[in-house]
């Protein structure tokens, strides 16, 4: 392995494949960097947490939270992950506007900072999500209609609010950040006024 190679794991949790597709896009962009030894895994697949320097963790959002298996992963591996660098992205309907993205990023940031204060989070992003009503039973469809109302989405069925340009920009900037080693270890909440941070 070349000197300076960085071992990176993209690990995702995805209910219906939306976050998996976003993870694949991010993988394709980061994989262009010759000094990255990059692996893409579902959270359900086995992997050795010790092997990687950087973790890019993707999760969709349910009931305003990261998926339970991502929360379990963070808790279970907290003692190892605290020595790694973590970038996190979430995919959800609430992030369908810039304002929504900032709100979700701040909510997730606060949840992480409270529960895992030692984690070195180098980046955090929220991306718009997708819902395919054909994959949902009527109870779930009703639940999603509630999420539509809550998030101000004017839809009554399937919708895809992912912005692939935004996802690409984030992946490219993360690639540059990791390449340059220009990484603050404390995350500054996005879109939060200075006096809100304390
Ligand atoms: C049961 C359920 C609950 C959800 N709850 C929320 C929520 O609280 N906030 C939100 O913005 N999106 C919510 N969503 C939307 C998902 O985050 C969105 O559809 C995402 O793209 C799903 O990605 P996945 O296929 O990778 O799981 C929910 C979706 C489902 C199925």
Rounded to the nearest angstrom, the distance between the alpha carbon of 3 and the centre of ligand 1 is: 41
Which ligand 1 atom sits closest to the C-alpha of 162?
Answer: 21
What residue ranges define each of the domains in the chain, with the CATH number in brackets? 6-130+160-189 (3.40.50.360)
Q: In the prediction, which pLDDT does 184 show?
A: 65
Q: How far is C-alpha 97 from the chain's CA centre?
A: 16
Helix 164-180 crosses helix 18-30 at what angle (to 10 degrees)? Answer: 40
Query: If you measure from the C-alpha of residue 151 to the centroid of ligand 1, how many angstroms do you get, rounded to a whole number?
Result: 11
pLDDT value at residue 4: 78
Nearest CA to ligand 1 atom 22: 60
SS3 (DSSP) at 150: helix
State the Cα–Cα distance between residues 101 and 175, nearest whole angstrom: 21
Tell me the CA–centroid distance for residue 139 and ligand 1, in Å: 14
Alpha carbon distance 2, 161 (integer Å): 39
| Cβ 15 vs Cβ 70: under 8 Å | no
| Cβ 33 vs Cβ 4: under 8 Å | no
- Whether the full predicted model's pTM is greater than 0.85, yes or no, is yes
- At 187 the pLDDT is 53
Task: Compute mean pLDDT per 10 residues along the chain, 198 residues long, and list them.
Answer: 86 98 98 96 97 97 97 96 96 96 95 92 96 95 94 92 98 94 59 41
Q: Which ligand 1 atom sits nearest the alpha carbon of residue 104?
A: 11
**Which residues line ligand 1 at a C-beta cut-off of 6 Å?**
14-19, 60-64, 91-94, 129-131, 140, 143-144, 147, 151
User: From the alpha carbon of 92, which atom of ligand 1 is closest?
Assistant: 17
Angstrom distance (rounded) from CA 45 to CA 160: 27
Q: What DSSP element (H or E) covers 129?
A: none
Residues 71, 61, 91, 28, CA torsion sign? positive
Q: What is the pLDDT of residue 180?
A: 86
**Residue 153 Cα, ligand 1 centroid: separation in angstroms?**
13
Ligand 1 atom closest to the Cα of residue 64 is 8
- pLDDT for position 3: 72
């Amino acid at each position: 392995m070349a000197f300076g190679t960085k071992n990176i794991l993209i690990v995702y949790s995805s209910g219906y494949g939306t976050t998996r597709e976003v993870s694949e896009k991010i993988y394709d962009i980061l994989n262009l960097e010759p000094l990255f030894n990059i692996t893409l895994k579902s959270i359900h697949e086995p992997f050795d947490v010790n092997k990687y320097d950087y973790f890019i963790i993707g999760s969709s959002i349910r009931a305003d939270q990261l998926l339970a298996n991502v929360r379990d992963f963070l808790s279970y591996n907290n003692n190892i992950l605290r020595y790694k660098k973590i970038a996190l992205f979430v995919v959800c309907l609430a992030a369908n506007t810039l304002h929504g993205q900032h709100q979700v990023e701040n909510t997730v940031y606060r949840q992480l900072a409270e529960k895992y204060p030692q984690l070195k989070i180098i980046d955090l992003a929220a991306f718009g999500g997708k819902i395919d009503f054909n994959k949902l039973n009527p109870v779930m469809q009703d639940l999603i209609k509630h999420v539509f109302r809550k998030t101000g989405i004017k839809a009554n069925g399937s919708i895809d609010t992912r912005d692939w340009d935004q996802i690409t920009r984030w992946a490219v900037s993360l690639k540059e950040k990791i390449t340059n080693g220009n990484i603050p270890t404390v995350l500054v909440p996005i879109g939060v006024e200075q006096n809100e941070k304390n």
